[in-house]
């Protein structure tokens, strides 16, 4: 009998966990992927914007099953409604468009279907997947492996594994099990609320509205959601306002320069969540354990986007695990530090740089000046010449 039940146990079947599971299982490792939910992705806590490049990079085909709508560019607004548009259908007409032979820049995906699709791919690659299964804790053992405690349909189960991956999202408990410093500062977690609406026109662009007036500490957005629907949302930093996100979203809808555009809107769904506009965790590994995705705060601190970094990070985590286990290296006493180094090299260093840019903007206490900086930074970030185009 092998000394462990699995080589890798992954807690959380979001984009990060399922991508890690898919690559690890495809290499022949024995992988168990668990999620406490009954339906992945639900309730939705995400707007679903992801670039085509991000999908391609990790071998995810753009399937109709999970795509709400194709995206061709960005429109960035200042607080008065002046805007800068980067429409790739005009910038690179030979490459981007909806006509045959041309492609979109990205997609707005349905997280319920997207997450289920990614889980299915992991399953088909050979991973075992258990839904309705909550991770409760883990214990590194003297023999170099570890025991993970799960609860599945009320039944307590202990599993022995070589590596545990915490892919349990923003509310991550796995890092806390290992005593890692996972706390997010209140000044760096945006409280977000969004409505899926009918009767708001969109133009195949992700629209981003900056300005303290509308979203103190964050920004507001209008995304196309397919079938003629749109998504209106915003995120705010609690220390920059006395009001909850909901109050700001009502104000944005009824008082902003978009009030006429939104005048007839009908709310079809209400969603929300927290977005860390924070630095990645300084330590993302412990004995037998690594963290990936939101659990490691792998989120772009300028845009709040975490889907690209979740799937890209999932691949990095899997590549690392495959190599490390194949070499039969130790798993405890700092032995997994190489994961973090690999991640920093491939993604993290750029994210630290973005964190620096973001921090400089929000440390400016002069609001009109800060508004100008944020608008300029966002407009530049999404431009075709941006050095960060690929995150």
From candidates 20, 79, 194, 284, binder to ligand FAD by CB under 6 A: 194
Provide CB contacts within 8 A for 144, sequence distance 6+: 330, 331, 332
Strands 155-166 and 289-291: parallel
| Site map 14..43 versus another protein, x via CB under 8 A | -----------------------------x
From candidates 140, 216, 224, 306, binder to ligand FAD by CB under 6 A: 306
- Minimal distance, residue 39 CB to another protein, in Å: 13
From candidates 104, 217, 273, 301, binder to ligand FAD by CB under 6 A: 273
3-state secondary structure 55-95: HHHCCCCCCCCCEEEEECEEEEECCCCCEEEEEHHHHCCCC
3-class secondary structure, 304: coil
Closest residue to ligand FAD in the complex (CB):
306
34 binds, among another protein, ligand FAD, none (CB under 5 to 8 A by kind): ligand FAD
Of residues 1 through 40, those in contact with ligand FAD by CB under 6 A are 11-17, 34-37, 40
Q: Are 88 and 384 in contact (CB under 8 A)?
A: yes
306 binds, among ligand FAD, another protein, none (CB under 5 to 8 A by kind): ligand FAD
Would you say 104 or 135 has its CB closer to ligand FAD?
A: 135
Provide CB contacts within 8 A for 96, sequence distance 6+: 72, 73, 88, 89, 102, 103, 104, 105
- CA distance linking residue 232 with residue 308, whole number of Å: 21
299 binds, among another protein, ligand FAD, none (CB under 5 to 8 A by kind): ligand FAD
User: How many Cα atoms sit within 13 Å of 353 on the Cβ side?
Assistant: 10
* Lateral strand order in the sheet of 49-51: 49-51, 106-109, 67-71
* Main-chain dihedrals φ then ψ at residue 28, nearest 5 degrees: 105, 0
- Minimal distance, residue 176 CB to another protein, in Å: 4
Binding status of residue 137 toward another protein by CB under 8 A: yes
Structure tokens at 130: 């258990």
Binding status of residue 207 toward ligand FAD by CB under 6 A: no
Q: Are 359 and 187 in contact (CB under 8 A)?
A: no
- CA distance linking residue 209 with residue 197, whole number of Å: 17
Binding status of residue 171 toward another protein by CB under 8 A: yes
167 binds, among ligand FAD, another protein, none (CB under 5 to 8 A by kind): ligand FAD
- Minimal distance, residue 186 CB to another protein, in Å: 5
Would you say 123 or 168 has its CB closer to another protein?
A: 168
Residues engaged in binding another protein (CB under 8 A): 43, 45, 137, 169-171, 173, 176-177, 183-184, 186, 189, 191-193, 238-239, 244-247, 270-274, 276
């Amino acid at each position: 009998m092998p000394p462990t039940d699995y080589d890798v146990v992954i807690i959380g079947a979001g984009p990060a966990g399922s991508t890690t599971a898919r690559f690890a299982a495809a290499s022949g490792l024995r992988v168990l992927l668990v999620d406490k939910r009954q339906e992945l992705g639900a309730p939705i806590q995400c707007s679903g914007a992801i670039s085509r490049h991000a999908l391609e990079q990790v071998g995810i085909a753009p399937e109709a099953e999970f795509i709400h709508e194709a995206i061709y560019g960005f429109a960035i607004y200042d607080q008065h409604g002046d805007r800068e548009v980067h429409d790739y259908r005009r910038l690179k007409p030979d490459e981007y468009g909806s006509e045959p032979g041309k492609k979109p820049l990205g997609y707005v995906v349905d997280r319920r279907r997207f997450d289920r699709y990614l889980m299915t791919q992991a399953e088909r690659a050979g991973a075992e997947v258990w839904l309705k299964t909550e991770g409760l804790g883990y214990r590194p053992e003297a023999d170099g492996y570890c025991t993970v405690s799960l609860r599945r349909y009320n039944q307590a189960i202990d599993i022995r594994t070589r590596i545990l991956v915490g892919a349990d999202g923003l509310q991550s408990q796995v890092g806390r099990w290992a005593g890692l410093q996972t706390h997010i500062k209140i000044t760096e977690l945006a409280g977000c609320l969004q409505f899926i609406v009918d009767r708001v026109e969109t133009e195949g662009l992700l629209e981003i509205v900056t300005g303290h007036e509308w979203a103190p500490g964050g920004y507001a957005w209008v995304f196309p959601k397919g079938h003629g629907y749109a998504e209106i949302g915003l995120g705010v930093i609690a220390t920059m306002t006395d009001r909850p996100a909901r109050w700001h979203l009502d104000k944005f809808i009824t008082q902003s320069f978009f009030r006429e555009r939104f005048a007839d809107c009908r709310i079809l769904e209400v969603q929300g969540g927290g977005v860390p506009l924070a630095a990645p965790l300084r330590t993302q590994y412990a004995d037998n354990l690594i963290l990936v995705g939101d659990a490691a705060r792998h989120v772009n601190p300028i845009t709040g986007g975490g889907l690209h970094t979740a799937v890209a990070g999932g691949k990095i985590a899997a590549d690392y695990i495959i190599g490390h286990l194949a070499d039969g290296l130790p798993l405890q006493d700092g032995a997994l530090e190489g994961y973090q180094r690999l991640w920093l090299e491939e993604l993290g260093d750029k994210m630290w740089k973005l964190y620096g840019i973001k921090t400089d903007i929000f440390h400016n206490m002069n609001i009109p000046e800060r508004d100008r900086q944020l608008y300029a930074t966002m407009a530049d970030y999404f431009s075709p010449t941006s050095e960060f185009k690929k995150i």
